[in-house]
Amino acid sequence: MRLDTPADHTNEAERLLRTAEQYPGDREPLLLRAAAHLELAGDRARATTLYDTLLSTPPAPEDPHLVRALKAANLWEYGHEAEARAIIAGLRATAPESPSAWEIVGEALEAHDELEASEETFSTAVKALVPLPHEQEVPYAAVSLLVSRHRVRRLLAREHDDWDVLADRLHTGTVPLDELHDPKRTWALGSSDPAELQAEITRLRSELGSYRTALSRPFPVAVLLWPREELTELLTAYPELEAEYPTYDAHLTDLEASLRELAAAGTPNLGVVRGTVPSYEAFAASEGASPADADLLPQYATTLAARGRAVPWPPERTAPCWCGSGGPYADCHGKELP
């Protein structure tokens, strides 16, 4: 369903709030999404109330810095600049490990023409999270920080530095970052030259593709992982699913193979979600279906991913493997498959 009007966003926020009451374990991602819809509906005061609820009532949020950053950006948009600045100053002094919190603070400053402070914020973040020389794979959230920093520095007419070079190297769009972030682009929109207008359309399409990718980050294409004990319980209760999961080791091997096939086909933002039998049974009941129905499994995985339960795949090679073995990914399922 397309959400085209403020009323649509308000209704979606109400639906998410009802879902949060049914699934308290998923309260944080659901309330954050509800707050985002309330902001789009223009009900920023109520969105602030949701951010305050997350920060003040147990359980504590997994990423309190992100919640505070979202609250500050929202406050600034409806006239509470002093409070927003105080929160932002506190966040910058705290130096959060969350790339998303840095991103929101930097963009809030940029949106209000605080370009020097925005550039300083992005620079502090990338220097802490992507120290140079950086030879390992850069997480997506950190790539977004690099690109945003590149944009602000371009607006300030700063010379490229090593992080700008890294942003250029990691950028996958068809239009180079220097062209996308050219401050003179706004003049092209008033041009009567068809060639200039066509070039701007091409740039905008490339930029739109980047935004679509960014928007899809909380909802990756997810593959369902059953821990050993959960899989045993699942197959004991629903032996009809043994065709899907003949053995635990085969389940893990098939999961890695599926992810590699999706990656080879160009599917972005892949993730792994862990299933539990009680959660799966509750999901089946909400769908009016039987847990023994194998067609329900991918829907369950998608629902878990939409609630923010997905772990990005692949892990860095030295990071723990997604399977839960505790070993490095490179020595576990990161090896070449037979």
- Domain ranges (residues) in the chain: 221-331
How far is it, in rounded angstroms, from Cα 125 to Cα 287? Answer: 43
Q: What angle do CA 162, 90, 36 make, to 5 degrees?
A: 85
Q: How confident is the model at residue 338 (pLDDT cuts 50, 70, 90)?
A: very low
Q: In terms of pLDDT, which residue wins out, 88 or 173?
A: 88
- Residue 3 has what pLDDT? 59
Q: Nearest-CA neighbor of 17 among 30, 2, 26?
A: 30
One-letter-per-residue 3-state SS of 105-161: HHHHHHHCCCHHHHHHHHHHHHHHHCCCCCCCCCCHHHHHHHHHHHHHHHHCCCCCC
How far is it, in rounded angstroms, from Cα 119 to Cα 73? Answer: 16
Question: Are β-strands 270-274 and 221-225 bridged in parallel, bridged antiparallel, or unpaired?
Answer: parallel
- Residue 217 has what pLDDT? 46
Two structure tokens written together for 81: 């600049």
What phi and psi, each to the nearest 5 degrees, are found at residue 137? -65, 135
Two structure tokens written together for 123: 């620079």
Query: 31-70, pLDDT tens digit by residue?
Result: 998 999 999 899 999 999 999 999 999 888 988 999 999 9
All residues at 6 or more sequence positions from 337 whose CB lies less than 8 Å from its CB, including other chains = 253, 256, 257, 260
Burial letters 3-23, b for 16+ CB under 10 A, else e: eeeeeebbebbeebbebbeeb
How far is it, in rounded angstroms, from Cα 6 to Cα 295? Answer: 35
Query: 229-284, pLDDT tens digit by residue?
Result: 999 999 999 999 999 999 999 999 999 999 998 888 877 778 899 999 888 887 78
Q: How confident is the model at residue 84 (pLDDT cuts 50, 70, 90)?
A: very high
Query: 20-36, pLDDT tens digit by residue?
Result: 888 888 888 889 989 99
